[in-house]
Amino acid sequence: MKWADCSEGKHVNRKGLVLIVEDNVLIRELLERWLGEVGYAVSGSADEAPRLVIADLANPRRAQALIQSLQVYAAPILVLSGRFRRGLAGSAEAARRLGVDKVLPKPFTRKELLSAVAALEEGG
């Protein structure tokens, strides 16, 4: 379990736990760094209730099973996926169909990720 305690040598306030479900080690480490830099505690397994769940959706055929397994956390779910094309309004429709709160198409920037996380924290 990784916890983000400081950024650039300065302690930051923890904003809560974010559970990351991502098989790609490089992407998972990048998410951990970006979220840790702004004060989130980040984990690959949740021993406590996460504030947010971020999950990679690599296989649309297994989407329903993955989403159902994550809904037990009763936290907003942000899906990352290369299956959705950038810039299309279809991302909101895809999120609705999947039963998640938001879909962020890959590739994405740090700013786009943090904006999506902030939007979910604000309730939408």
What are the structural domains, with CATH classification, of the chain?
Answer: 6-121 (3.40.50.2300)
Q: How far apart are CA 18 and CA 118, in angstroms?
A: 12
Mean pLDDT of 79-88: 68
Q: How far is CA 12 from CA 3, 37, 52, 82, in A?
A: 12, 8, 18, 32
User: Percent of the chain, pLDDT > 90?
Assistant: 31
The DSSP call for residue 9 is: T
Query: Residues 51, 77: contact at Cβ < 8 Å?
Result: no
Confidence band, pLDDT 50/70/90 cuts, at residue 78: very high
- The pLDDT score that the predictor gives to residue 103 is 86
**Is it the case that residue 109 has pLDDT exceeding 50?**
yes
* pLDDT tens-place string over residues 8-37: 444 445 788 899 999 899 999 999 999 999
